[in-house]
Chains A and B, each alone.
Chain A
Amino acid sequence: MTSSQQEATPIIRANKMNKFFGVFHALKDIDLTVARGETVVLCGPSGSGKSTLIRCLNALENHQKGELEVAGVQLTGKRREIDMVRRKTGMVFQSFNLFPHMTVLENCMIAQMRVKKTSKEDARKVAERFLARVHIPEQAGKYPAQLSGGQQQRVAIARALCMSPEVMLFDEPTSALDPEMVREVLETMVELAREGSTMICVTHEMNFARKVANKVVFMDQGSILEIAKPDDFFTNPQHERAKEFLAQILH
Chain B
Amino acid sequence: MMFQDFTMAHVYYMLNGLLWTIGLALIALTGGSIAGSVLALMAVSRNKLARRIAKLYIFVVQGTPLLVTLFIAYFGANYVGVDVPPLVAISIAFSFYAAAFLGEIWRGSINSVPMGQSEGSHALGLSRVDSMRFIIIPQAVKIATPPTVGFFVMLIKNTSLASVVSITELTRTSQIVSNATFKPLQVYLLAALFYFLVCFPLTIVSRRLEKRLHKS
A: residues with CB less than 8 A from B are 58, 60, 83, 86-87, 89-91, 93, 95-101, 110-111, 114-115, 145, 159-160, 163
Contacts and interface: CB of A to CB of B under 8 A. Distances in A.
Chain B, interface size category, equals 10 to 19
Given A86-B125, A163-B124, A101 B142 contact: yes
A60 B130 CA distance: 17
A83 B124 contact: no
A97 B116 contact: yes
B138 A58 contact: no
B37 interface: no
A98 B139 CA distance: 12
B126 interface: yes
A60 B119 contact: yes
A114 B126 contact: yes
A101 B125 contact: no
A86 B124 contact: yes
A101 B119 CA distance: 16
A57 B105 CA distance: 35
Given A97-B123, A114-B127, A145-B216, 13 more contacts: A58-B123, A60-B119, A83-B125, A89-B123, A91-B123, A98-B120, A99-B117, A110-B124, A110-B135, A111-B125, A115-B126, A115-B127, A160-B124
Nearest to B130: A114
Contacts of A98: 120
Contacts of B126: 110-111, 114-115
A56 B135 CA distance: 23
Contacts of A58: 123
A100 B123 CA distance: 16
Contacts of A95: 116
Contacts of B124: 86, 90, 110-111, 115, 159-160, 163
Contacts of B125: 83, 86-87, 111, 115, 163
A99 B142 CA distance: 14
B59 interface: no
Given A97-B117, A99-B117, A114-B130, A90 B138 contact: no
A61 to B, nearest CB: 10
B134 interface: yes
19 contacts: A58-B123, A60-B119, A87-B125, A89-B123, A90-B123, A96-B116, A97-B116, A97-B123, A99-B117, A99-B120, A99-B135, A110-B124, A110-B126, A110-B134, A111-B121, A111-B124, A159-B124, A163-B124, A163-B125
Interface in B102-133: 116-117, 119-127, 130
Given A58-B123, A159-B124, A160-B124, A101 B139 contact: yes
Nearest to B133: A114
Interface of B: 116-117, 119-127, 130, 134-135, 138-139, 142, 216
Q: Which 3 A-B pairs have the closest CB atoms?
A: A97-B120, A111-B124, A91-B123
A97 B135 CA distance: 11
Nearest to B118: A97
B216 to A, nearest CB: 7
A110 to B, nearest CB: 6
Contacts of B121: 99, 111
B126 to A, nearest CB: 6
A95 B123 CA distance: 14
Contacts of A111: 121, 124-126
Contact of A60 (B122, B127, B139): B122
A101 B137 CA distance: 11
Contacts of B142: 101
A39 to B, nearest CB: 19
Nearest to B128: A79
A163 B124 CA distance: 7
Contact of B134 (A60, A91, A114, A160): A114
Contacts of A99: 117, 120-121, 135
Contact of A101 (B123, B127, B138): B138
Report which residue of B116, B119, B123, B139 has the largest number of chain A beta carbons within 10 angstroms of its beta carbon: B123
Nearest to A82: B122
B61 to A, nearest CB: 32
A95 B135 CA distance: 16
A60 B117 contact: no
A160 B121 CA distance: 10
